[in-house]
Amino acid sequence: MPDRPPAPDHVDRFVERATLPITLLVQAAASAAIVAPAVASGSLPVAQRLGPVAVGVFIAIVYAAAMLSSQWAVAMVRRWGPIRTSQLALAVCAAGLPLTVLPHPVAAVAGALLLGLGYGPITPASSEMLARTTPPHRFALVFSLKQTGVPLGGAIAGLTVPAVLVLAGPAWALGQIALLCLAGSALAALLRRRIDAYRQADAPLPTLAGVLVPIRFVLADPLLRRIALCTLALSGAQLSLGTYAVAWLNLDLHWSLVAAGLGLTVAQVSGMAGRIAWGMLADRLHDGARRVLRLLCVAALACGAVAALVGPRTAQLPVLVLLAAYGATAIGWNGVYLAMVARAVPRPQAAMATGGSLFFTYLGVVLAPPLFGAVAHFSGSLGLSFGLLALPLAVGAWLLRPPPAAPASISQGRFP
């Protein structure tokens, strides 16, 4: 296996220019579909009946399903191509949204499952496309730009769902996001003939037995294994910040809900800006992706430790600065991570490596928020829970340490 992927095959100028915007749109549409039911939860029948616990259960089901479907993505991309896989994934997301509006819990669970099954293949498919059309020296920046689709999708849902909810009700509020998914699917068709030309029409269909193949692939490679385990800690920190920041500001620091919402917005916007900035930095530095990812583990660790020390008497401006730094680090790492994974394998294996590593990324998403909430419940402090996130992040930084005496390995972009 080569240490770096070879330069991309010749692609025409349209494909080279259009791949990033289309993958960004696909990512934003899928992310908006995941966030929209949570934004509209106050008006959804099942959430009204079960209370706030319904949102946590919903998110857990979505990402548990995404853990499974991200492994199927490898076989899907191989047989149908990354564009057709993305189109199918968006269609499944669009089908799941209307089910969340129905008053029966079984329908809501089915909607969550469909959303997760649709969300999982999006990133492996887009990684395959970008790995084939992007020069290796621009991987970190391009992958980071694509990953801004995650907070962009959240912003789209946050801005449009409440407005339509007031005017026309939850069915139309979620229906517009379903239409966005279908629009993304239609625009992706512009690249299907060129990019899906690499597909193998006779490749095996996705099977339950094939779920373990990408995971084994990642665990068998020392570099991929370390990256994947590191992202388990980072994804846990990201989801914990997004899930509990408002509650921390409101309950622990006694901010108003409006001010707490502003604090979360600051963190999200900083995360979006951070994804671009860290991608640019990783492309410029020697062994940049590993060094930047390790730096982000340490910086997020420090932000969590400071959050544990903040109290109601702390002025709002320093807390907003802290949230900006926390968002830039705990939310801004994804593009560098995906670029590092794509660099570690030959281009045809980008979907395999991405899908296998995403299993551990989504595992952190599923496990961390409930554990965070349990610590806060028993300790009575959300700030303490942020401080305890330093432990897994410290392990992540240790996993990405440079080898003691292997300069050649580092210069090639890999380490033992």
Residue 336 and residue 358 in one domain: yes
Using one digit for the tens of pLDDT, what is the confidence trace for 322-358? 999 999 999 889 888 988 888 888 877 877 888 889 8
CA dist 194 → 190, 199, 205 (Å): 9, 10, 22
In a domain, 259, yes or no: yes
State how far the Cα of 373 lies from the Cα of 185, in Å rounded to an integer.
Answer: 37
pLDDT of the residue at 104: 85
pLDDT tops 90 at residue 27: yes
State how far the Cα of 384 lies from the Cα of 223, in Å rounded to an integer.
Answer: 32
Mean pLDDT of the chain: 84
Query: CA nearest 155: which of 42, 59, 56, 29?
Result: 29
In a domain, 203, yes or no: no
Most confident of 59-63, 246-250, 291-295, 401-405: 291-295
pLDDT tops 60 at residue 1: no
pLDDT > 70 in the chain, percent: 91
pLDDT tops 70 at residue 4: no
pLDDT tops 50 at residue 316: yes
C-beta neighbour count of 394 within 10 angstroms: 14
- pTM of this structure: 0.76
Segment 366-391 shows an average pLDDT of: 84
pLDDT of the residue at 259: 82
pLDDT of the residue at 29: 95
Q: Which of 128, 163, 195 is the last residue of a domain?
A: 195
DSSP 134: S
Predicted confidence band of residue 278 (pLDDT cuts 50, 70, 90): very high
What's the CA angle centered on 259, arms 159 and 382, to 5 degrees? 105
Using one digit for the tens of pLDDT, what is the confidence trace for 138-158? 888 888 888 888 878 877 887
Q: Which residue has the higher pLDDT, 383 or 416?
A: 383
Is residue 361 a contact partner of residue 235, using CB atoms and an 8 Å limit? yes
Split into its structural domains, the chain has a count of 2
Query: CA nearest 137: which of 342, 301, 294, 304?
Result: 342
Residue 81 and residue 220 in one domain: no
Residue 248 and residue 190 in one domain: no
Local structure of 346: helix, strand or coil: coil
Residue 72 and residue 183 in one domain: yes
| Identity of the amino acid at 285 | L
Q: Which residue has the higher pLDDT, 107 or 350?
A: 107
* 102 burial type by CB count under 10 A (0-12 exposed, 13-18 middle, 19+ buried): middle
Residue 336 and residue 369 in one domain: yes
State how far the Cα of 360 lies from the Cα of 122, in Å rounded to an integer.
Answer: 16
pLDDT of the residue at 292: 93
pLDDT of the residue at 48: 62
Which structural domain range is residue 148 located in?
A: 1-195
pLDDT tops 80 at residue 18: yes
